[in-house]
């Protein structure tokens, strides 16, 4: 039985090789592995669908197709005894290439190996011509480069809430409504947090016409948008230019304009567009830019003002072209997590280029973790101060329904929000870096200077500031933002004890202006 099956494979594979390559039938010893294969349907990442391996003029080559990544060449392809060994590159610079192995077992082709943290285990059978045709992965043309007009939104960094950091995929209509109510009740809406953004996990299937439907956790998006709007808030959604979102839901691949129209019809006001599986299709500066431009144009063509958030992790100097593709903010890093090490690495060491930032377009160092429990209050003050000094979007990431008073006070601090939202739109920069002491400055529209004095060490630090030593003229007013206290600006030197991983945030009035002594590049 086994040998008869093998013979059938050999015949099928040989047939396909001859058909695909037009070349001679492969050597018998290797033939069982060559040819066209159709994988058994599976939901397991990355959902392989087909594989075609051929030898032409002695050269082995192959393409493996998956629902996440479309057609990918099989790299370093070789046959070792009864195994076909190869690697794939999904376009992610962080993916370490590892050998994947295909062998014939029990009459089937079995593919094993590891991709990211997933063990692969996919089984295939020889593909018939009609199977192969049905599994063809479509590709689509991208628009030629042309600037997308400014949509007039985000004159200051966007503020609101996003579901991902706290809820991940466990998000539903009821929770979003309750969050909207909580934003109103807590006063956070009136403090400026206006967007209620549903991240990954709302998407369902496409209908017969290709229209994307929400999943069962979101029975009626139009009604949800109306509910949010009725509370003076705005609704945001999430998608990907790839066929799959990062969590494996349908992306907008092949449906860009259609999806933009669907969201506009629902009343959506904000889109976060996350590269995810699109990184396999768009992995050059030109293609990534083009695919973000395509959605930028599609959003504008709807006629509805939709704020556009680019999420491609800061690749290919996105700050240099984010505005040109219609973007209002662009992620500059990978994902934040709720711990001081990750937050401070992003906040202190991975800021996007400051010259790209200003009304309409902002560097996005990722959403806030304040209130999620992984950092001390001092560390969360550092988080918030850094984001405000950087003119970063302020997207709450916690469960505001059960927000604690100290976290609410921290997030509602009007002076911090005023720094973040300053209409000059300049991004702050380090003025001094002295070991664990960092002093950051951000010039503000009224001639004031926001100054963050950070202690990055794990113990308290006594810091004395001398305006002259810092190259600053004596301020006319001096506000200690976190203590909500006006200090005497007449003193030459001011001293604090700054707690471990903590910050003193100051607003120095009348420091900038005509005789501007401060150079914040």
Binding residues for ligand GLA, rule: CB under 6 A, are 164, 199-200, 245-247, 274, 311, 335
Q: Concatenate the DSSP letters of all residues of 233-260 into one string.
A: -EEEEEE-SSSB-TTS-B--TT-HHHHH
**What's the CA angle centered on 426, arms 289 and 504, to 5 degrees?**
125
The smaller minimum CB distance to ligand GLA, of residues 6 and 315, is found at 315
304's tokens: 């509805």
CB of 250 vs ligand GLA, minimal distance in Å: 13
CB of 169 vs ligand GLA, minimal distance in Å: 8
Tell me the helices (H) and strands (E) count for the chain, helix number first. 13, 27
Q: In the annotation, is 274 catalytic? A: yes
The smaller minimum CB distance to ligand GLA, of residues 13 and 246, is found at 246
Listed residue (8, 28, 26, 34) closest to 103, CA to CA: 34
Helix axes 221-230, 173-185, angle to 10 degrees: 10
Listed residue (317, 331, 273, 330) closest to 297, CA to CA: 273
Q: Concatenate the DSSP letters of all residues of 146-199 into one string.
A: -PPPP-S--SS--EEEESHHHHTT---HHHHHHHHHHHHHTTHHHHT--EEE--
CB of 272 vs ligand GLA, minimal distance in Å: 7
Q: In the annotation, is 492 catalytic? A: no
The smaller minimum CB distance to ligand GLA, of residues 172 and 378, is found at 172
The smaller minimum CB distance to ligand GLA, of residues 37 and 270, is found at 270
Q: Which of 172, 199, 200, 274 is catalytic?
A: 274
In 215-351, beta strands by DSSP E: 234-239, 270-274, 307-311, 329-331
Q: In the block, which residue shows the tokens 């560097």?
A: 363
The three-class DSSP label of residue 224 is helix
The smaller minimum CB distance to ligand GLA, of residues 295 and 449, is found at 295
98's tokens: 């590892």
The smaller minimum CB distance to ligand GLA, of residues 200 and 259, is found at 200
Q: Which of 150, 181, 335, 339 is catalytic?
A: 335
Distance CA 86, CA 109 (A): 14
CB of 200 vs ligand GLA, minimal distance in Å: 3
Listed residue (405, 505, 400, 488) closest to 451, CA to CA: 505
Burial class for 515, CB neighbours closer than 10 Å (0-12, 13-18, 19+): exposed
Distance CA 280, CA 10 (A): 32
CB of 311 vs ligand GLA, minimal distance in Å: 5
CB of 366 vs ligand GLA, minimal distance in Å: 6
329's tokens: 């903010």
CB of 119 vs ligand GLA, minimal distance in Å: 21
Distance CA 185, CA 194 (A): 13
Residue 407 has φ and ψ, to the nearest 5°, of -70, -40
The smaller minimum CB distance to ligand GLA, of residues 180 and 310, is found at 310
CB of 245 vs ligand GLA, minimal distance in Å: 6
409-to-157, 163, 415, 497 alpha-carbon distances in Å:
20, 21, 11, 22
The smaller minimum CB distance to ligand GLA, of residues 32 and 241, is found at 241
Distance CA 328, CA 217 (A): 29
Tally of residues, the chain = 521
Any idea which residues carry the catalytic annotation?
Answer: 274, 335
């Amino acid at each position: 039985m086994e040998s008869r099956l093998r013979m059938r494979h050999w015949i099928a594979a040989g047939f396909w090789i001859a058909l695909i390559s037009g070349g001679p039938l492969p050597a018998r010893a290797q033939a069982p592995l060559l040819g066209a294969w159709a994988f058994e349907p599976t939901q397991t990442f990355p959902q392989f669908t087909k594989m075609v391996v051929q030898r032409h003029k002695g050269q082995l080559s192959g393409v493996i197709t998956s629902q996440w990544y479309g057609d990918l060449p099989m790299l370093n392809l070789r046959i070792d005894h009864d195994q076909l060994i190869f690697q794939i590159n999904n376009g992610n610079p962080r993916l370490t290439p590892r050998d994947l192995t295909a062998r014939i077992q029990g009459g089937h082709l079995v593919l094993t190996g590891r991709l990211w943290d997933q063990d692969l285990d996919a089984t295939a059978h020889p593909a018939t011509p009609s199977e192969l045709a049905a599994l063809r992965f479509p590709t689509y043309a991208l628009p030629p480069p042309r600037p997308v007009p400014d949509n007039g939104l985000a004159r200051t960094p966007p503020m609101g809430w996003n579901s991902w950091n706290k809820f991940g995929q466990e998000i539903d209509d009821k929770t979003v409504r309750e969050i909207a109510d909580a934003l109103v009740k807590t006063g956070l809406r009136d403090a400026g947090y206006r967007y209620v953004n549903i991240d990954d996990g709302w998407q369902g299937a496409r209908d017969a016409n290709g229209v994307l439907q929400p999943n069962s956790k979101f029975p009626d998006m139009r009604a949800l948008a109306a509910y949010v709007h009725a509370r003076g808030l705005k609704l945001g959604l999430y998608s990907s230019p790839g066929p799959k979102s990062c969590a494996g839901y349908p992306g907008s691949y092949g449906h860009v304009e259609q999806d933009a129209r669907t969201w506009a019809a629902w009343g959506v006001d904000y889109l976060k567009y996350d590269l995810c599986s699109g990184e396999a299709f768009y992995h050059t500066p030109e293609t990534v830019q083009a695919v973000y431009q395509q959605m930028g144009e599609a959003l504008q063509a709807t006629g509805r003002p939709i704020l556009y958030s680019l999420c491609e992790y800061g690749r290919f100097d996105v700050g240099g072209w984010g505005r040109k593709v219609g973007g209002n903010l662009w992620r500059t890093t990978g994902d934040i997590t709720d711990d001081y090490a990750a937050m401070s690495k992003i906040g202190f060491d991975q800021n996007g280029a400051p010259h790209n930032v200003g009304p309409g377009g902002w560097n996005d160092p990722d959403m806030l973790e304040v209130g999620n429990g992984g950092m001390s209050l001092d560390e969360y003050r550092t988080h918030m101060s850094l984001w405000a000094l950087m003119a970063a979007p302020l997207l709450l990431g916690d469960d505001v329904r059960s927000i604690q008073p100290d976290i609410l006070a921290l997030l509602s601090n009007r002076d911090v929000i005023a720094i973040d939202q300053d209409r000059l739109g300049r991004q702050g920069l380090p003025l001094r870096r002295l070991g664990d002491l960092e002093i950051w400055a951000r010039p503000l529209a009224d001639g004031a200077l926001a100054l963050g004095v950070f202690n990055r060490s794990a113990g308290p630090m006594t810091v004395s500031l001398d305006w002259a030593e810092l190259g600053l003229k004596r301020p006319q007013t001096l506000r200690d933002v976190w203590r909500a206290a006006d200090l005497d600006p007449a003193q030459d030197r001011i001293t604090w004890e700054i707690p471990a991983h903590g910050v003193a945030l100051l607003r120095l009035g009348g420091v900038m202006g005509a005789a501007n002594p401060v150079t914040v590049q």
